[in-house]
A and B are shown apart, each in its own frame.
Chain A
């Protein structure tokens, strides 16, 4: 039986997080938890123990960069791979030469489900 990958998505656009959860879970390959506040990322990660964390960058309470920083400083969570999901960059900037933001890969919104699963597969396998 296939072991579902656990994905934590933190995006202040709650509806986006929820739709990504539904779409990814519909593939049968993922189990997703969606959070809409940056500050909830750490407690949710502790509890959910995800295989990958998708972080929005621009969030009102705590931005994705800060969340990533805190995750890296947490001895239990620092090994969980992180990817940014952001409306700030263009998609083709995310692909060539393994470009990254603060050492993490990123993918640009809007994104299709297949683009997103390809992104996840690439970075979870590379763990």
Chain B
């Protein structure tokens, strides 16, 4: 099994000890070992550079610290070559220290015979080989772990990408779902409107007839009672007012359902606003409301039914006045703007009313009133929804406003003002091409 001779380097300065070791080698196994000897460390390193030794026999018969330092140096530079330490004394601590520092074995000069030396060298080499294999294994393992780690990082990255992809898919799904919900709400709203429209003319007839009888009957009775009976006169007055209120509800319903009969013309928007403000002036003055105009010049024209749009403004101004019973400020802003894709109510689809890049007229009407309770905000456009029943509100004003805006392919929304009380109404109008 030993076809190859084992190359041993003996680092030993003592001629005597060198001879001793050489003799031991020759005695036991001269054909198996190829022994080189060097006197000091620098010579030894030279030799180690030139030749691949299988084992180093290192003399530690130097002052203790120096000897261990030598061992550390040799082991540090050639960690893969097994080292057997030679000592002159049977010193357990030194022996253990040298083993813990990487020596394979320690031999005490004078107690060593050829057999022990041979065995020690063989074991040393074998052990080192095993250590080496273990080390390789460990390195291999580390490489594997590193490789796996890289793979894991990679797949983690992919996973993150997939998660973000899925998130964005979920987001667009959510957006589509919201659009669907919105469309459904609009459909329901449209259906409600249609039903109200159909009901309106029927109800109008059925309600107006009895109202007509009551009014005629009251006038008759009022004439028949002595005029000095003040309480009776007051009663008739109340009744006449009630008839008038009921009639207004019916009229409102008819306005609401008859809203499709629009007569549109290309015109300026500001004169319509101004006329509505003039009509409301008395009411504004009475309630100490200051009107602040912020109208931009050079606005494009709008294609609208003047009377219907006036009805929109009057309704909104009337609401503002009612919200500012103790006075306040009504701010009306009008300007033109090109809408972008990200704006509300803007979309690329054919059925979208506003398209990116389109020039529109925007209007904001702000009051400094009491605002609308958040839970009622989405009800304000519902037919017959009102918080003002006691003062004659029909709950149709804003429904009519919205219907009129829809007839003009416009949009309206009502929100509470950010910061500070009051309501902000936002209106969008489609415009006519400029210079056309």
**Residue B96 CB within 8 A of the other chain:** no
Taking the closest CB of chain A, its distance from the CB of B127, in whole angstroms, is 113
Interface membership of chain A positions 81-116, coded 1 if the CB is closer than 8 angstroms to chain B and 0 otherwise: 000000110100000000000000000111111000
Given the interface contacts A90-B251, A90-B254, does A16 sit within 8 Å of B209 by beta carbon?
yes
What separation, in Å, do the CA atoms of A19 and B219 have in the docked complex? 9
Do B216 and A113 touch across chains, with their CB atoms under 8 A apart? yes
Do B220 and A110 touch across chains, with their CB atoms under 8 A apart? no
For A20, list chain B residues within 8 Å (CB). 216
For B219, list chain A residues within 8 Å (CB). 23, 112-113
Contact of A87 among B205, B216, B220, B255 (CB under 8 A): B205
For B201, list chain A residues within 8 Å (CB). 88
**Residue A47 CB within 8 A of the other chain:** no
Do A110 and B212 touch across chains, with their CB atoms under 8 A apart? yes
For B213, list chain A residues within 8 Å (CB). 13, 15-16, 19
For A15, list chain B residues within 8 Å (CB). 213, 217
Question: Can you give 5 contacting A-B residue pairs, CB < 8 Å?
Answer: A23-B220, A88-B204, A110-B208, A110-B212, A110-B247
For A73, list chain B residues within 8 Å (CB). none
Among B205, B208, B212, B220, the one with the most A-chain Cβ atoms within 10 Å of its Cβ is B212
Apart from A16-B216, A109-B209, what 5 extra A-B contacts exist at CB < 8 Å? Answer: A26-B220, A87-B207, A90-B255, A110-B214, A111-B212
**Residue A80 CB within 8 A of the other chain:** no
What separation, in Å, do the CA atoms of A58 and B217 have in the docked complex? 21
**Residue B426 CB within 8 A of the other chain:** no
Contact of B215 among A22, A88, A112 (CB under 8 A): A112
For B247, list chain A residues within 8 Å (CB). 110
Taking the closest CB of chain A, its distance from the CB of B239, in whole angstroms, is 12
Taking the closest CB of chain B, its distance from the CB of A98, in whole angstroms, is 18
Cβ < 8 Å to B, chain A residues 28-59: 58
Do A110 and B243 touch across chains, with their CB atoms under 8 A apart? yes
Q: How many residues of A contact B (CB 8 A)?
A: 18
Interface pairs A-B: 5 shortest CB-CB: A87-B208, A109-B212, A19-B216, A110-B212, A110-B211
For A109, list chain B residues within 8 Å (CB). 208-209, 211-212
**Residue B223 CB within 8 A of the other chain:** yes
Do B220 and A19 touch across chains, with their CB atoms under 8 A apart? yes
List residues of A whose CB falls within 8 A of some B CB: 13, 15-16, 19-20, 22-23, 26, 58, 87-88, 90, 108-113
Taking the closest CB of chain B, its distance from the CB of A23, in whole angstroms, is 5
For A112, list chain B residues within 8 Å (CB). 215, 219
What separation, in Å, do the CA atoms of A66 and B239 have in the docked complex? 35
Among A16, A20, A87, A108, the one with the most B-chain Cβ atoms within 10 Å of its Cβ is A87
What separation, in Å, do the CA atoms of A68 and B215 have in the docked complex? 26
For A113, list chain B residues within 8 Å (CB). 216, 219
For A90, list chain B residues within 8 Å (CB). 251, 254-255
For B215, list chain A residues within 8 Å (CB). 110-112
What separation, in Å, do the CA atoms of A15 and B218 have in the docked complex? 13
Contact of B212 among A16, A22, A26, A58 (CB under 8 A): A16
Do A88 and B220 touch across chains, with their CB atoms under 8 A apart? no
For A22, list chain B residues within 8 Å (CB). 220
A89: nearest chain-B partner, CB-CB? B254
Cβ < 8 Å to A, chain B residues 170-226: 201, 204-209, 211-217, 219-220, 223
Given the interface contacts A23-B216, A110-B214, A113-B219, does A87 sit within 8 Å of B209 by beta carbon?
yes
What separation, in Å, do the CA atoms of A110 and B215 have in the docked complex? 7
Among B207, B216, B247, the one with the most A-chain Cβ atoms within 10 Å of its Cβ is B216
For B254, list chain A residues within 8 Å (CB). 90
What separation, in Å, do the CA atoms of A90 and B254 have in the docked complex? 8
What separation, in Å, do the CA atoms of A8 and B210 have in the docked complex? 20
What separation, in Å, do the CA atoms of A90 and B169 have in the docked complex? 54
